[in-house]
């Protein structure tokens, strides 16, 4: 049984209230213990959760198989086996997890213009594309593979040949019976050296595969090819050619004996260290090491001898005392008493960039605002820790969501419109509301702008919690508005009247103040309840507001009393006409809580400057006129000063 990847992925929990989960927990715990082929209890084989668990178990089993096979290959690479031997073992062992009927290795010429097949295995009855076959790489799609370092998948070789009939190698593969192909680049010291090919008789077999396993195999083959090429160069006494390659590379190069003494260096290594070549050849690697003690360096040397190769980062000391970061790739060959072939490059700039990124991430995680990064479809790619803390999600959870899942339904219909505007304008600031994981609605102000990254357009958003501001605005609104209808209250309407009187004086116009009382609201409250009465008041407020101009004002003083301000009217007849319109609107039947209700109202009117020049007095006089209207029979209009 394999050792589990983690000791526990699920904390103990009390599920005593629901025993239906027990069979699934047994399966999960078996997988935790490293058993990825557990027995599924009856009743779990056809339900969705059971199906998902079986898929998970199969996936984990395959990944473990891949890891074990790769570990074996790495051990064999380090043990000094030849390329052909290792490739033979790969071909024989990986059939269970990689579908292929043919596998081949092709290496590039020194000028990278020609590709030659150096090794192959195939189960075809007749091998058409044989060892030694060479072809110019020219403008083939393999050029793109070399440029990107990513595998190339041809799911239908016949369709590919139809598009590129000049591809002789593809024609030969098809004749051999192959119908799909996967090419993995081989890279050594950052440069392409060839390709590892897998081919199958079936079409479309590579489109859904886990490509990482192919790249890992290719990486091990690259190491092996590189080691053997160096060894071959030395064994064939191609000293001048070896020196030309080593001295022309931009990376620093050291040839070191098994004890750590420098035997040869190139010009790039001298430039990196600040020492002359003659000085370096008198030194031990520990003389330049700034991160390890001599004892630690000695242990590191023994580790590389045992493993055969290593890639690591360390820090070196220049002649001028400056310490700099380097990345070292070293291979050990058991020739001439043992030799290390080590390439190194200065990664100080990269380290500074990484530190800058780390500091920026630290800064982002410690700001009080949430930071989001999403693509044009709204899929979230990054959030800072503040966003996770505020919304209650983990990084993994939130990065799997779309912005639409975070926005309150109140704003959901605006998301696409806002994205379109962002693409047009490049930046926008707007208010929205996010839904926290626990269901809490959080109002935010979102500042979003477009950024470009690797040719992709992304949305960078900064969300600021405006809950306190919204509460303050609500309190400020309530200070001047009626909480039931949202209309201005007495305090606010008096301010409006004061402003209207100033304008009326300037333009020599009249101002009318109406005091309105709903005649039968008490009867509605008694018969249908106060909730229905509140709905009636809201509906009445809407109908009264409908009857006035935008520059006028409607205010609810409380209960069934309203004040209407008509600013800048020509004569009293204009005010009476508006009052008649209000009575007609209120009298029209309204359906509330399944009831058909009609209202009547008594309206009193006072005028500026005829009746008063004081806002409070104008309201009081209109109130007095309203009571005369009620006493004279209700549902009518009364002008202040009019005889009873």
Q: What is the mean pLDDT of each run of 10 residues along the chain (644 residues)?
A: 41 52 66 63 63 63 56 51 72 75 87 86 88 82 81 89 88 92 82 86 75 69 66 54 69 91 91 93 93 92 90 93 92 86 89 79 77 85 87 86 78 72 80 86 86 81 83 75 90 91 90 93 87 92 94 91 93 94 94 89 94 94 94 92 74
Q: What is the pLDDT of residue 460?
A: 85
Inter-residue contact 43 to 23 (CB < 8 Å): yes
Under 8 Å CB-to-CB from 504, ≥6 apart: which residues?
Answer: 510, 511, 567, 568, 608, 609
CA 381 to chain centre: 1
Cα–Cα distance measured from residue 155 to residue 251, given in angstroms and rounded to the nearest whole number: 38
* Of the candidates 388, 451, 387, 445, the residue with the CA atom closest to the CA atom of residue 411: 445
**What's this model's pTM, rounded to 2 decimal places?**
0.37
Phi, psi torsion values for 463, nearest 5 degrees: -105, 125
* Per-residue tokens: 338: 């043992």
Q: Helices marked H in 35-141 — which ranges?
A: 48-78, 83-93
Inter-residue contact 562 to 508 (CB < 8 Å): no
Residue 448: half-sphere exposure toward Cβ, Cα within 13 Å? 27
Q: Give, rounded to a whole angstrom, the gap between the first and last alpha carbons of the chain.
A: 104
What are the CB-based long-range contacts (under 8 Å, 24+) for 344-352? 344/251, 344/252, 344/253, 344/254, 344/269, 344/272, 345/250, 345/251, 345/252, 346/272, 347/313, 348/324, 350/325, 351/325
> What single-letter DSSP state applies at residue 379?
B
Q: What is the pLDDT of residue 15?
A: 47
Cα torsion angle, 78, 82, 84, 88, sign: negative
Question: Is residue 595 reached through a cis peptide bond, with omega within 30 degrees of 0 on the bond before it?
Answer: no
* Of the candidates 504, 617, 488, the residue with the CA atom closest to the CA atom of residue 562: 488
* Per-residue tokens: 315: 């820090």
Task: Give me the domains of the chain, ranges plus CATH numbers.
Answer: 19-74 (no CATH), 82-232 (3.30.450.40), 239-346 (3.30.450.20), 359-469 (3.30.450.20), 481-639 (3.30.70.270)
Inter-residue contact 639 to 605 (CB < 8 Å): yes
Cα–Cα distance measured from residue 141 to residue 454, given in angstroms and rounded to the nearest whole number: 22
């Amino acid at each position: 049984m394999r050792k589990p990847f983690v000791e526990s992925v699920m904390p103990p929990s009390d599920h005593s209230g629901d025993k239906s989960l027990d069979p699934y927990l047994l399966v999960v715990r078996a997988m935790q213990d490293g058993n990825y082929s557990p027995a599924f209890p009856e009743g779990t084989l056809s339900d969705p959760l059971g199906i998902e668990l079986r898929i998970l178990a199969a996936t984990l089993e395959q990944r473990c198989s891949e890891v074990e096979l790769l570990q074996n290959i790495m051990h064999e690479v380090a043990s000094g086996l030849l390329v052909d031997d290792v490739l033979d073992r790969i071909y024989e062992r990986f059939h269970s997890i990689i579908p292929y009927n043919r596998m081949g290795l092709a290496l590039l010429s020194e000028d990278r213009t020609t590709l030659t097949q150096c090794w192959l295995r195939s189960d075809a009855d007749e091998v058409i594309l044989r060892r030694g076959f060479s072809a110019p790489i020219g403008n083939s799609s393999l050029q793109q593979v070399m440029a990107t370092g990513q595998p190339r998948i041809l799911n239908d070789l016949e369709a590919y040949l139809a598009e590129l009939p000049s591809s002789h190698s593809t024609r030969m593969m098809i004749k051999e019976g192959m119908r799909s192909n996967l090419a993995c680049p081989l890279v050594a010291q950052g440069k392409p050296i060839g390709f590892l090919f897998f081919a199958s008789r079936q079409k479309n077999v590579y489109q859904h595969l886990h490509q990482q396993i192919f790249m890992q195999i290719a990486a091990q083959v690259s190491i092996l090819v590189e080691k053997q090429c160096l060894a071959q160069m030395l064994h064939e006494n191609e000293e001048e050619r070896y020196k030309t390659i080593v001295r022309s590379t931009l990376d620093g190069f050291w040839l070191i004996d098994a004890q750590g003494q420098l035997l040869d260096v190139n010009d790039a290594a001298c430039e990196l260290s600040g020492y002359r070549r003659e000085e370096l050849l008198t030194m031990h690697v520990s003389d330049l090491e700034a991160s390890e003690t001599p004892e630690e360096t000695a242990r590191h040397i023994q580790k590389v001898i045992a493993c055969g190769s290593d890639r690591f980062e360390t820090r070196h000391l220049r002649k001028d005392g400056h310490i700099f970061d380097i990345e070292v790739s070293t291979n050990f060959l058991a020739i001439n008493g043992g030799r290390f072939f080590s390439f190194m490059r200065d990664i100080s700039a990269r380290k500074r960039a990484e530190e800058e990124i780390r500091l920026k991430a630290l800064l982002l995680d410690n700001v009080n605002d949430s930071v989001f990064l999403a693509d044009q479809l709204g899929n979230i790619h990054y959030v800072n820790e503040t966003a996770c803390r505020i919304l209650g999600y983990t990084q993994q959870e939130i990065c799997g969501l779309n912005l639409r899942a975070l926005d309150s339904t109140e704003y959901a219909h605006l998301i696409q419109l806002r994205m379109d505007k962002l693409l047009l304008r490049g930046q926008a600031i707007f208010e929205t509301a996010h839904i926290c994981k626990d269901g809490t609605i959080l109002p935010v102000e979102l500042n979003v702008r477009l950024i470009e990254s690797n040719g992709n357009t992304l949305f960078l958003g900064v969300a600021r919690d405006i809950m306190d501001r919204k509460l303050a605005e609500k309190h400020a609104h309530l200070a001047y508005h009626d909480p039931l209808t949202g209309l201005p209250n007495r305090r606010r309407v008096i301010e409006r009247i004061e402003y209207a009187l100033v304008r009326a004086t300037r333009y020599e116009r009249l101002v009318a103040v109406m005091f309105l009382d709903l005649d039968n609201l008490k009867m509605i409250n008694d018969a249908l309840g106060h909730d229905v009465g509140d709905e009636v008041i809201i509906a009445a407020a809407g109908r009264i507001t409908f009857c006035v101009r935008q520059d006028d004002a409607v205010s609810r003083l409380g209960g069934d009393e309203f004040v209407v301000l008509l600013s800048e009217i020509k004569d009293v007849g204009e005010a009476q006409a508006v009052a008649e319109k209000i009575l007609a609107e209120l009298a029209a039947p309204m359906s509330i809580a399944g009831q058909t209700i009609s209202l009547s109202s008594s309206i009193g009117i006072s005028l500026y400057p005829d009746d008063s020049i004081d806002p409070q007095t104008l309201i009081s006089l209109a109130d007095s006129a309203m009571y005369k209207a009620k006493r004279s029979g209700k549902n009518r209009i009364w002008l202040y000063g009019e005889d009873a």
